[in-house]
């Protein structure tokens, strides 16, 4: 049996929910959209859902152009029951970037490392793959299921975004799937999405980060300001890593519930996921890939207390990186 056939065999209801991580990015949305089409081909209906909001313009534009329908969990909460079956895409149970909703998480498809092992009826978790969309694309080809232009465009854009245009964490399978989808996808749409991803106000976050950046022996820390969108925090972290003097970047933003961090590394010996997990142990949580990771430290307090916490976070990262 192929992995898709194994997945299908674990579904017991004609309608399922596909849950993405909070504040979903193009890879999560593309993966959910592709899986929704696969399930439709197999005779199942699926509702794609998420918590939070679509923060980046290019992600919102992607949904509009490709007619991807996704539901905010808050809007469908009342219709969920304990008998509902949930498929997690681009996320895993127990992570800080996904909430528990009513129903049973029976299936997980993801490309992030597993730090908190959970049980599913079926799982396909491949940390060696650069994007979750790659896994979904492979399901189409290895099962000879037709792929329309909208799905191919979404999956291709998702792969390109999560691998930073094939420059980060890319695998041979990512390349193979992009090659097989090349003639199926709309290159003009992808070009348009890749070149319209900043709002004018996003420049404020870049400005704050540049003004606040601190560098300690190739490790940089930067603040994007209060309530910066998660996708933008990640983009600024990528931007900081482009500096010649920086090989490990930590960018953070104070949120209502605490401090959100995005971490990037270009040095093989400095695994961003491992370092973030160890640095935040006891005060928060984090993890991810060797090249990119994320973290969150819950906190309530005034500005002076936040400064003290940020200083502690910096010291924790530096201790783990340079023991």
Question: What is the pLDDT, as a whole number, of residue 196?
Answer: 67
Mean predicted confidence (pLDDT) in 37-59: 93
Domains (range + CATH), the chain:
3-194 (3.90.1640.10), 203-321 (3.10.310.40)
Sheet with 214-216: strands ordered across: 214-216, 219-223, 248-254, 258-265, 292-298, 285-288
Question: What is the pLDDT, as a whole number, of residue 271?
Answer: 92
Mean predicted confidence (pLDDT) in 94-123: 91
CB atoms within 10 A of CB 281: 12
If we measure between CA atoms, which residue out of 275, 233, 232 comes closest to residue 251? 233
Mean predicted confidence (pLDDT) in 291-310: 89
Question: What is the pLDDT, as a whole number, of residue 302?
Answer: 83
Task: Indicate the pLDDT class of residue 171, thresholds 50, 70 and 90.
Answer: very high
Report CA dihedral (21, 22, 26, 29) to the nearest 10 degrees: 60
Question: What is the pLDDT, as a whole number, of residue 230?
Answer: 85
Rounded Cα distance between 241 and 235, Å, is 10
Using one digit for the tens of pLDDT, what is the confidence trace for 185-201? 999 999 998 886 677 77
Contacting residues for 27 by C-beta, under 8 A, at least 6 apart = 90, 131, 132, 133, 158, 159, 161, 162
Rounded Cα distance between 84 and 105, Å, is 9
Whether 310 has a pLDDT exceeding 70, the answer reads: yes
C-alpha 53: how far from chain center = 13
Question: What is the pLDDT, as a whole number, of residue 231?
Answer: 83
Whether 250 has a pLDDT exceeding 90, the answer reads: yes
Q: Which residue has the higher pLDDT, 35 or 322?
A: 35
Using one digit for the tens of pLDDT, what is the confidence trace for 4-33? 999 999 999 999 999 999 999 999 999 999
Identify whether the C-beta of residue 107 lies closer than 8 Å to the C-beta of residue 121: yes
Whether 235 has a pLDDT exceeding 80, the answer reads: yes
Question: What is the pLDDT, as a whole number, of residue 197?
Answer: 66
If you average pLDDT over every residue of the chain, what do you get? 93
Question: What is the pLDDT, as a whole number, of residue 323?
Answer: 65
Question: What is the pLDDT, as a whole number, of residue 265?
Answer: 93
Mean predicted confidence (pLDDT) in 40-47: 98
Whether 167 has a pLDDT exceeding 90, the answer reads: no
Contacting residues for 157 by C-beta, under 8 A, at least 6 apart = 26, 30, 62, 189, 190, 193, 194
- Determine if residue 258 is left, alpha or beta; phi over 0 gives left, psi from -120 to 50 gives alpha, anything else beta: left
Altogether, the residues listed in the chain come to a count of 323
Whether 107 has a pLDDT exceeding 90, the answer reads: yes
Question: What is the pLDDT, as a whole number, of residue 200?
Answer: 79
Identify whether the C-beta of residue 258 lies closer than 8 Å to the C-beta of residue 297: yes
| Measured CA distances, 31 to 80, 110, 153, 249 (Å) | 22, 9, 11, 27
Mean predicted confidence (pLDDT) in 79-93: 96
């Amino acid at each position: 049996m192929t992995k898709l056939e194994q997945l299908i065999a674990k579904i017991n209801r004609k309608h399922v929910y596909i849950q993405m991580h909070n504040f979903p990015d193009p890879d999560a949305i593309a993966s959910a959209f592709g899986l929704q089409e696969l399930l439709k081909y197999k005779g199942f209906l699926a509702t794609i859902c998420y918590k939070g909001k679509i923060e980046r313009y290019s992600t919102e534009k992607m949904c509009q152009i490709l007619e991807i329908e996704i539901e905010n969990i808050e809007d469908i909460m009342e219709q969920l029951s304990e008998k509902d079956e949930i498929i997690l895409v681009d996320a895993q149970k127990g992570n800080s970037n996904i909430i528990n909703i009513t129903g049973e998480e029976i299936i997980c498809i993801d490309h992030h490392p597993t730090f908190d092992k959970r049980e599913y009826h079926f799982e396909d978790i491949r940390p060696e793959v650069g994007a979750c969309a790659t896994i979904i694309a492979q399901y189409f080809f290895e099962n000879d299921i037709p792929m329309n232009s909208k799905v191919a465009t979404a999956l291709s854009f998702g792969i390109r975004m999560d691998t930073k245009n094939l420059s980060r964490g890319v695998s041979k399978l990512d390349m193979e799937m992009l090659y097989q989808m090349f003639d199926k996808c709309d290159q003009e749409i992808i070009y348009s999405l890749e070149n319209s991803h900043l709002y004018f106000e996003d420049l404020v976050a870049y400005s704050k980060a540049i003004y606040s950046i601190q560098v300690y022996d190739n490790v940089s820390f930067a603040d994007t300001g209060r309530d910066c969108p998660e996708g933008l925090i990640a983009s600024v972290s990528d931007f900081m890593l482009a500096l010649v003097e920086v090989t490990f970047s930590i960018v953070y933003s104070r949120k209502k519930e605490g401090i959100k961090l995005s971490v990037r590394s270009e040095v093989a010996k400095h695994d961003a996921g491992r370092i973030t997990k160890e640095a935040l142990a006891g005060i928060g949580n984090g993890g991810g890939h060797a090249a990119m990771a994320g973290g969150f430290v819950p906190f309530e307090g005034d500005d002076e207390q936040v400064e003290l916490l940020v200083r502690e976070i910096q010291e924790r990262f530096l201790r783990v990186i340079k023991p």
